[in-house]
Amino acid sequence: MIKYLEKEKLFKIDTVTTSYIIGIADDKYAGHAYYGKRIPDDDVSYLMRINEPPFVPSVNNRDKLSFLDCFPMEYPTHGVGDFREDCIAVRNKDGYSGLELFYDGYEITDKKPHLDGLPQTFPSESGKSETLKLYLKDDVLGLKVTLLYTAFEDNDAIVRSVIMENSSSDPLYVTKALSACIDMDNKDFELMTLNGSWARERHIQRNPVGIGFAGVSSVRGETSHQHHPFLGLLSKGADDDHGDVYGMHFIYSGNFKGLVYRGQFDNVRMMMGINDEDFTWKLEAGQSFATPEVVTVYSGEGIGKMTRTYHDLYRNHLIRSPYKDKKRPILINNWEATYFDFNTDKLLDIARESSKLGIEMLVMDDGWFGNRYDDNRALGDWFVNGDKIKGGLKYLVDEVNKLGMKFGIWFEPEMISPDSDLYREHPDWAIAIPGRTAGLCRNQYVLDITRDEIRDYIVERVCDILSSANIEYVKWDMNRQLADLGSLYLPADKMGELSHRYVLAVYDMQERILARFPNLLLENCSGGGARFDPGMLYYSPQIWCSDDTDAIERLKIQEGTALLYPLSTMGAHVSVCPNHTVGRNTPFETRGYVALAGTFGYELDVTKLSDEDKAMIPAQCKMYHKYRDLVTLGDYYRIASYSDNGYFDAYMTVAKDRSESLLTFVQVMNRPNHHSRIIKLKGFDSNEKYLIKKFNIETGEEEPYLSYMKKPLSGDTLMNGGIIIENMWGDNRGLLLHIVKA
Ligand code: DGJ
């Protein structure tokens, strides 16, 4: 997979279908030679343009700056003449920050280096991986830098990170430490990013890349609703099935920066890592710092192949939970059913009714602890509210278990309300700048969990609750972003470490809780989907996608999320209409079809549901059990996007062995006096024959699809001729087709 071509001085990383090639120019500079379709072991060092003017510095030092300003640098450094955006900046004790990294050897190993405290990819039990360690150094600063590149034998992704070590005898201050960079020639690129807001997370956006900067970032202390740590560079006009696509996705849950810079010679630099705003990391002599991993993917067959590469990588090499490939229990969450207004009786009423319908787990959301009667108080007081939870938590959980259901609970461990016993006792536990009144958000502050005693206290409280009853699921929420960044305990020259330390602290807390409760099903959440990122997947196999549970809004949110994440990770529930966020009415069955593209569950008061809607729940539960493996373990193909066409949405999941697939179709708008639609399917074996069956929500069974498409059709016909979808009466109508090898 990885080799060093000695004569050519090239490092070649070959994945299943791609090659990534790094060259050493002038015996010193690590440069980027090639990334694309897999190619033979030729000498492609010429692609770095080192044989053309302005030459390399050893031949023409007069023009060293011209060289640095255009050389495709593998890991560009600050302050010595590469005037484009750099990846690393380090200041020494005297305030100098120029940095130049020279090649200092390499190692190729089949043991993937472990990055302490960080979420990270890993080889599968039976599979092989190889890692290239490219050693660079700056003798003036006394800094060693190791660029890490890992390839897995079963996947096309390349995983990158960087380790920097202070080899001097004085402290060094790392003020910028990005994880990956690729310098490429422009291919008339378009930039694809995921952006949004609360209730509109991860909408896909695409723009031409002009001269200058473009990109995404967060300084909110978490990934955010607004931007996502992903960059996609697409050759102009690339679509789901055609064109060059380069992806970078960051395995991290805090401040990030993803930048694309198109420079004076039309070269394009793509980079990703921790946001350097407010970031400084002090490295004492001998200490080192590891950056979180960036996953790069190249696809020469459009966006869809990139998507499937990320899905497989995350399913096989990032998610650790024992629930990874397992069916998750169909849950009912009481948030939209009751908000804060519930007690044991109410929850048991919901559970009783739910258990009769096939729902498998009750999740008690916000409001069960302290005097949490609304969202203005009690965060931090992780003691059961005995007035609401009469008889205690164990009684409630036991009663739910007696119904044959599991029980789950909500926490927001990182927060503290000013109106809480915890704050009254420890006002200094909140993050704040001394002398400045910190801003509230949802009437809460953020705990300084970077401090050991605070982290220990919260972990203990959570574990105490989890030990007190048979709790099998936790929803870990986080409902405000970080501001007024000040720690009362970090010294001045470490204050710039707070944001990154905060993220490490979140990881540490989840790691410790999971170590105590290894079978716990953890779902991360942040005011909806503000912490939907690969970092969290290392701890929780599923993440709440969005507070917007409207099926139609979800089409866009889930389309953007599924661009990178397997459907098994996407928290998706059926809720009531008119929808609580947008007031829209959507048929109950459509809400079920859309939620099926995720972990599937309910977020409503089942005791208040109309008989007609309630009658569909057993069939929906059946639907989930029947198709769940196909949906979550299969290959995902986008067929049509409502975001693009404004009328309808369609996507498929196809079993890895191509024996069956499921098509979800949502007709958002009916069109009067209009043809039926012909849509072309994807992912079949060309010569195999397939039968099309329709899922019937009334019976929970399958039935033949249209009478004129009853006979088996070959994969080629389905993919090239397509199938008919007849117009359905009304808007927001859904259809589920199971297409099976005949
Ligand atoms: C935000 C979450 O996204 C919701 O699902 C719910 O858990 C609320 N927080 C509770 O405060």
pLDDT at 55: 84
pLDDT at 320: 97
pLDDT at 674: 86
- Percent of the chain having pLDDT more than 90? 97
| 528 three-class SS | coil
> Residue 719: which pLDDT band, with cuts at 50, 70 and 90?
very high
* Greatest alpha-carbon span in the chain: 83
> Residue 126: which pLDDT band, with cuts at 50, 70 and 90?
confident
Per-residue pLDDT for 29 more than 80?
yes
Given the residues 477, 533, 605, 613, the one annotated as active site: 477
Q: Find the mean pLDDT for residues 608-616.
A: 97
- Of 379, 508, 492, the C-alpha closest to 452 is 508
> Residue 712: which pLDDT band, with cuts at 50, 70 and 90?
very high
Task: Tell me the torsion sign for CA atoms 565, 535, 332, 669.
Answer: negative
Per-residue pLDDT for 592 more than 80?
yes
- Percent of the chain having pLDDT more than 70? 100
Index of the ligand 1 atom closest to the CA of residue 546: 3
Regarding the beta carbon of 477 and ligand 1, being less than 6 Å apart is answered yes
pLDDT at 636: 98
CA distance 344 to 385: 11
Per-residue pLDDT for 374 more than 80?
yes
Q: For the chain, report the end-to-end CA distance as a whole number of angstroms.
A: 39
Regarding the beta carbon of 410 and ligand 1, being less than 6 Å apart is answered yes
* Residue 224 Cα to ligand 1 middle (Å): 15
- Beta carbons within 8 Å of 539's beta carbon, 6+ residues apart: 119, 320, 321, 507, 510, 511, 514, 522, 524
* Residue 504 Cα to ligand 1 middle (Å): 23
Q: Find the mean pLDDT for residues 266-284.
A: 97
pLDDT at 54: 74
Which helix (H) or strand (E) segment holds residue 248: the answer is strand 245-250
* Residue 339 Cα to ligand 1 middle (Å): 9
> Residue 383: which pLDDT band, with cuts at 50, 70 and 90?
very high
Index of the ligand 1 atom closest to the CA of residue 526: 3
What would the two tokens of residue 75 be? 């890991």
| 373 three-class SS | coil
Q: Find the mean pLDDT for residues 122-151.
A: 96
Amino acid sitting at position 401: N
- Beta carbons within 8 Å of 304's beta carbon, 6+ residues apart: 240, 241, 636, 637, 638, 682
**C-beta of residue 583 within 8 angstroms of C-beta of residue 543:** no
Q: Find the mean pLDDT for residues 240-247.
A: 98
- Of 546, 550, 573, the C-alpha closest to 334 is 573
Regarding the beta carbon of 525 and ligand 1, being less than 6 Å apart is answered yes
> Residue 294: which pLDDT band, with cuts at 50, 70 and 90?
very high
Regarding the beta carbon of 221 and ligand 1, being less than 6 Å apart is answered no
> Where do we find the tokens 């209009």?
674
Per-residue pLDDT for 187 more than 90?
no
**DSSP conformation class of 64:** H
CA distance 133 to 109: 8
Regarding the beta carbon of 479 and ligand 1, being less than 6 Å apart is answered yes
Q: Find the mean pLDDT for residues 676-695.
A: 97
Residue 358 falls in which region: left (phi positive, over 0), alpha (psi -120 to 50) or beta: left
pLDDT tens readout for residues 515-548 = 999 999 999 999 999 999 999 999 999 999 999 9
Amino acid sitting at position 238: A
> Residue 128: which pLDDT band, with cuts at 50, 70 and 90?
very high
Strand partners, 406: 361
**C-beta of residue 632 within 8 angstroms of C-beta of residue 567:** yes
pLDDT at 629: 97
Residue 547 annotated among the catalytic residues of the structure:
yes
Residue 139 annotated among the catalytic residues of the structure:
no
- Of 407, 400, 491, 419, the C-alpha closest to 450 is 491
pLDDT at 53: 75
Per-residue pLDDT for 683 more than 90?
yes
Q: Is 17 exposed, middle or buried (0-12, 13-18, 19+ CB in 10 A)?
A: middle
pLDDT tens readout for residues 424-463 = 999 999 999 999 999 999 999 999 999 999 999 999 999 9
Per-residue pLDDT for 186 more than 90?
no
